[in-house]
Amino acid sequence: MTLLTGWGRTAPTPATLARPRSADEVAALVKEIGADPARKGNGADPARKGNGADPARVGHGSRGLVARGLGRSYGDAAQNAGGTVLDCAALRPSWTLDPESGLVTASAGTSLHDLMTGLVPRGWFVPVSPGTRYVTVGGAIAADVHGKNHHVDSSFGAHVRSLTLVTADGSARVLGPSDDLFWATVGGMGLTGVIVEATFACVPIETSRMRVDVERTRDLDETLDVMTATDDRYRYTVAWIDLMARGGRTGRSVLTRGDHATREDVRGHVRGDPLAFAPRQRLSAPPRVPDGLLNRATVGAFNAVWYAKAPRERRGLIQGITPFFHPLDAVAGWNRMYGSRGLVQYQFVVPFGAEDTLRRVVGALSTRRVVSFLTVLKRFGAGTPGMLSFPMPGWTLALDIPAGVPGLAGLLRVFDEWVVAAGGRLYLAKDSRTSASVVAAGYPRLEEWRAIRDAADPDGLFRSDLARRLRL
């Protein structure tokens, strides 16, 4: 048994870790665990699947399995207490690029970091990159991840042309956007099967740099106004909010918006190959960090400096991929900075027109001086047909809060109510603390998803702590 947590390092549970190295080994493992006699008679009532029907037998088979990539989901999505977790990052990373079409076919264990270091020098970029490169292709599809280009390009699933899914019967099914199971798998948090391979469309680039405009706003309303008015001029946009600012400055932000730089843009800035990309990890968080390092004083000071050092307005800045897309990837294990109790990510989306909900949340956080190191606001565009896919047109806000903050549970429950009342929802890949009813209210297609999942996995073989906690 191995004790596993998500990136937030909260609520650890033990599981048997299996390390399949190929799609065939995945299929064999799925068959083996599915055939464990401890599972027999376990699927009669779908509401009770995966509970381990026969208590006389203590076998990992009765608790099912779930795939895990690089463990960047913040909560318990890739944990399976008492069961099996497939470490898919061990799947031999491999990918091929069709230079004519820009289509990449990659094994599910390939990380976006591997892909980028290979693709960028050849003039291609991944269609969507979340805030870290250290996610696998399988995880990117299962969480239907989004990036700074969501308002233009939607989420990862929108770019997937086909995927291979090992389902509960141990067979490998090749699925495309015309299949219901495909859209139950995109955003399906690994609960429909194990993704072993995918083909998706990449984006041509001329250089490995970004041409970036940075500007500051005075308060939340100005942030919303500027983003609404001019986000569409850029492929990538995001706002960082200084939550420690209060009063009339509540919601003041630094907007960072840009596009892939052309060769013309970087002339005079970059010597040598404009497509060169060889990222290095320079820093590593210490293995043990005293609790309470990130507190009101330190985060407040950091935020004030960060805001102050951002230019009032600066256009045409040339930046590399890491500082623009993945600033935190420069520090390995940054999640350890939150101390032994870990951190909670809270990310929600509310539809356009529900800006008041956004104002209330930002106001409440700011008034109570809740410590959030990285508060990020983003305007979403169209979602995908993924039934449990998170993004929808509207505003999404992501908070990083130390799990030890007093009163946090109650405050976030209040936010849950506001978000659901506004027609919004929470991001499952980030969640570690909400309730089944909040998820059901936020994902109106949950029943439809369940029906498709139950057809593909009638005995409830694919289970995770997240699935049990939220009764998915």
List contacts with other proteins (CB under 8 A): 1, 3, 8, 10-15, 48, 51-52, 55, 58, 62-63, 75-76, 81-83, 342, 344, 403, 408-409, 412-413, 432-437, 465, 468-469, 471
**Rg for the chain, CA atoms, rounded:** 22
H or E, element range at 104: strand 103-107
Question: CB of residue 2 vs other proteins: minimum separation in angstroms?
Answer: 11
Helix intervals (H) in 97-158? 112-119, 137-142, 150-153
Question: CB of residue 48 vs other proteins: minimum separation in angstroms?
Answer: 7
Question: CB of residue 53 vs other proteins: minimum separation in angstroms?
Answer: 9
Question: CB of residue 271 vs other proteins: minimum separation in angstroms?
Answer: 47
Shorter beta-carbon distance to other proteins: residue 14 or 393:
14
CA angle at residue 41 from 40 to 45, to 5 degrees? 140
Is the CB of residue 339 less than 8 Å from the CB of residue 290? yes
Shorter beta-carbon distance to other proteins: residue 84 or 223:
84
Shorter beta-carbon distance to other proteins: residue 8 or 274:
8
The string of DSSP codes covering 407-431 is: THHHHHHHHHHHHHHTT-EE-TTT-
Question: CB of residue 292 vs other proteins: minimum separation in angstroms?
Answer: 16
Q: Compute the distance between CA of residue 373 and CA of residue 427 in angstroms, rounded to an integer.
A: 19
Q: What is the DSSP letter of 136?
A: B
Nearest to 33 by CA among 46, 47, 13, 52: 52
Shorter beta-carbon distance to other proteins: residue 15 or 239:
15
Question: CB of residue 450 vs other proteins: minimum separation in angstroms?
Answer: 16
Shorter beta-carbon distance to other proteins: residue 59 or 177:
59
Q: Compute the distance between CA of residue 65 and CA of residue 463 in angstroms, rounded to an integer.
A: 6
Shorter beta-carbon distance to other proteins: residue 152 or 440:
440
Question: CB of residue 17 vs other proteins: minimum separation in angstroms?
Answer: 13
Two tokens, residue 59: 């076998």
Nearest to 438 by CA among 471, 403, 406, 399: 471
Q: Compute the distance between CA of residue 16 and CA of residue 418 in angstroms, rounded to an integer.
A: 39
Is the CB of residue 80 less than 8 Å from the CB of residue 191? no
Shorter beta-carbon distance to other proteins: residue 150 or 430:
430
Nearest to 176 by CA among 125, 103, 85, 110: 103
Question: Does residue 230 sit in helix, strand or coil?
Answer: helix
Shorter beta-carbon distance to other proteins: residue 305 or 421:
421
Phi and psi of 418, rounded to 5°? -60, -45
Nearest to 255 by CA among 302, 225, 217, 221: 217
Cβ contacts of residue 110 below 8 Å, gap of 6+? 93, 94, 95, 136, 137
Question: CB of residue 7 vs other proteins: minimum separation in angstroms?
Answer: 11
Question: CB of residue 444 vs other proteins: minimum separation in angstroms?
Answer: 20
Shorter beta-carbon distance to other proteins: residue 181 or 408:
408
Longest dimension (CA), the chain: 72
Shorter beta-carbon distance to other proteins: residue 85 or 145:
85
- E-strand spans in 167-312? 172-175, 194-201, 203-204, 209-217, 236-241, 253-260, 283-284
Question: CB of residue 71 vs other proteins: minimum separation in angstroms?
Answer: 15
Shorter beta-carbon distance to other proteins: residue 409 or 421:
409
Residue 57 burial by CB count (10 A; 0-12/13-18/19+): exposed, middle or buried? middle
Question: CB of residue 11 vs other proteins: minimum separation in angstroms?
Answer: 5
Shorter beta-carbon distance to other proteins: residue 378 or 433:
433
The label of the residue with tokens 């929470």 reads 426
Sheet with 236-241, edge to edge strand ranges = 313-320, 209-217, 253-260, 236-241, 375-380, 394-402, 343-351, 425-426
Two tokens, residue 444: 């109106």
Question: CB of residue 114 vs other proteins: minimum separation in angstroms?
Answer: 30
